[in-house]
Amino acid sequence: MNALRIGLVGLGTVGTSVWNNLRSQEELLSRRCGKALRIEKVAEKDRERAREAGVPESQWTSDWRDLALDPSLDVVVELIGGTGIAADLIRESLFHGKDVVTANKALLAERGKELTAFAAERGRRLLFEASVAGGIPLLLALREGLIANEILSLHGIINGTCNYLLSAMASRSLPYREALREAKELGYAEADETLDVAGHDTAHKAVLLSALAYGFWPRLEEVHTEGIQHIDPLDLHFAQELGYSLKLLAILRSHPTRGEIEVRVHPTLLRKGHLLSSVSGVFNAVAVWGDVVGETLFYGRGAGGDPTSSAVLSDLASLASGEVSAREVTSSSVRQAALSLRPMARIFSRYYVRFLVEDRPGVLAEIARVFAAEKISISSVIQPEGHRGKTVPLIVPLIVLLHRSREADVQRACRIIETLPTVKEPAILLRVEDLEPEEEQAS
């Protein structure tokens, strides 16, 4: 039987899982692909790590260049991460006639447009199913399963660390720091959690989803990104009382008549009745609206060795069976040129805004006048009971829910309200998403 000859670079958690699972699933994959999938060489700087994984001495090298230059290999799997050596590895492998499979979301978010174009120039393929949502075959679904659809919107919980933290804070009323300590003890958060909790990991994945769904690579630094590190448990409590769950979402939405794509990442309130709002713990989920199929939901483990290796093996199987879709990112250069990123100031949303105000007559009227002046409609106002502090005058929370409004108008109104003498702290603002596709609005 013919074989797909594979070079594997990196034996970290994911690389070791790929090495183990490819061998354990070898017979199944060969039967389904009509071709054997065989790792011929492994590059790993740490010889002891390679030995512990069971890599024979004859297949091991410490230098990734040995794989990139080897004419006997068909594909190189890059699992070392980072944006330096990994980029050189991918370019060299493509240059020397190999396809590449990677899970490197950070590198692709920064240089994906360049690397996929280079792959196309060399007549090779760069596949990255494992880079978003771990074991969920999301990119494959966008590339193939939904090929008959224009993608109207995507709303994704695609960082398990953040979802675990928000779930723990909401369900057990844990302070952020305590939830983070617990997540680190359980191995759900890195020693330096910044990439996850500040929203950067989610933003990397949002860029890749935009490329797959719309053929559009937004500049990573232009994607509006907010994290969860400043979420106040008080707002989680009020959100639950109002019938909402708080999730860190990647939100993508097309505006075809204007040639614009929204790509943004921030904490978001979702109605508890929607399935996405019930996703808890370290799980990922993405709701995708297509113009033909309507809403679809993809759910599963978004990280970890085995789920991510499953996605890597999926890409390898596609290469082995010759079933890589013609609807690849590299075919979208014409469309890319016709699209632009919608500025955050011009997005429309509903809003939850919490002020800390003096409890005296006329405060609400002052706030309402500012919103009215900006043509922003208030849907409801709540002053929760049980917050009757001991100061004189009393300082209490005031929650205002707003109808759909433009971001710039809401931000401007909040800045004006914060200057009122009866308002004691900057406003806490959270966006509220209705997942259904929306009509174009003047902006």
Q: What's the pLDDT at 330?
A: 46
Say if residue 154 is exposed, middle or buried (CB neighbours under 10 Å; 0-12, 13-18, 19+).
buried
Query: Helices 105-121 & 200-214, crossing angle to 10 degrees?
Result: 30
* pLDDT tens digits, 66-98: 999 999 999 999 999 888 999 999 999 999 999
* φ, ψ dihedrals at 166, nearest 5°: -65, -35
Task: Kindly report which listed range (63-77, 206-220, 316-330) carries the lowest average pLDDT score.
Answer: 316-330
pLDDT band at 335 (very low <50, low <70, confident <90, very high): low
Nearest CA to 311 among 22, 11, 4?
Answer: 22
**Whole-angstrom Cα distance, residue 421 to residue 426?**
12
Lookup: tokens for 384: 């929760």
Residue 101 pairs with which residues in a beta bridge?
77, 127
**Whole-angstrom Cα distance, residue 21 to residue 384?**
54
Mean per-residue pLDDT, 385-410: 84
pTM of the model: 0.90
Residue 406 pairs with which residues in a beta bridge?
348
pLDDT band at 332 (very low <50, low <70, confident <90, very high): very low
pLDDT band at 425 (very low <50, low <70, confident <90, very high): very high
* φ, ψ dihedrals at 174, nearest 5°: -80, 140
Checking if the pLDDT of 317 tops 70, the result is yes
Say if residue 208 is exposed, middle or buried (CB neighbours under 10 Å; 0-12, 13-18, 19+).
buried
**CB-based contact 346:161 (threshold 8 Å):** no
Where are the alpha helices (H) located in 44-199, listed in sequence order?
A: 47-53, 65-68, 85-95, 105-121, 138-140, 160-172, 176-185, 194-197
Residue 302's contacts (CB-CB under 8 Å, 6 or more residues apart) are 133, 134, 135, 136, 158, 159, 160, 282, 283, 284
**Whole-angstrom Cα distance, residue 156 to residue 175?**
24
Checking if the pLDDT of 154 tops 90, the result is yes
Query: Helices 305-321 & 13-24, crossing angle to 10 degrees?
Result: 50
Mean per-residue pLDDT, 145-165: 93
**CB-based contact 339:262 (threshold 8 Å):** no
Give the DSSP H or E segment for 247.
strand 244-255
* pLDDT tens digits, 264-313: 999 999 999 898 999 999 899 999 999 999 999 999 887 778 888 998 99
Pairing assessment for the beta strands 3-9 and 36-43 based on DSSP bridges: parallel
Mean per-residue pLDDT, 236-256: 95
Task: Kindly report which listed range (125-139, 228-242, 276-290, 343-357) carries the lowest average pLDDT score.
Answer: 125-139
* φ, ψ dihedrals at 388, nearest 5°: -105, 60
Domains and CATH numbers, the chain: 3-127 (3.40.50.720), 138-301+333-342 (3.30.360.10), 347-432 (3.30.70.260)
Checking if the pLDDT of 439 tops 70, the result is no
Mean pLDDT of the chain: 91
Pairing assessment for the beta strands 283-290 and 294-301 based on DSSP bridges: antiparallel
pLDDT band at 415 (very low <50, low <70, confident <90, very high): very high
Q: What's the pLDDT at 133?
A: 82
pLDDT > 70 fraction of the chain, expressed in percent and rounded: 93
* CA 174, 178, 180, 183 torsion-angle sign: negative
For the chain, the distance separating the N- and C-terminal CA atoms, rounded to the nearest angstrom, is 59
Residue 295 pairs with which residues in a beta bridge?
289
pLDDT > 90 fraction of the chain, expressed in percent and rounded: 76
**CB-based contact 324:154 (threshold 8 Å):** no
Q: What's the pLDDT at 334?
A: 42
**Whole-angstrom Cα distance, residue 289 to residue 438?**
11
pLDDT band at 441 (very low <50, low <70, confident <90, very high): low
The set of catalytic residues is 205
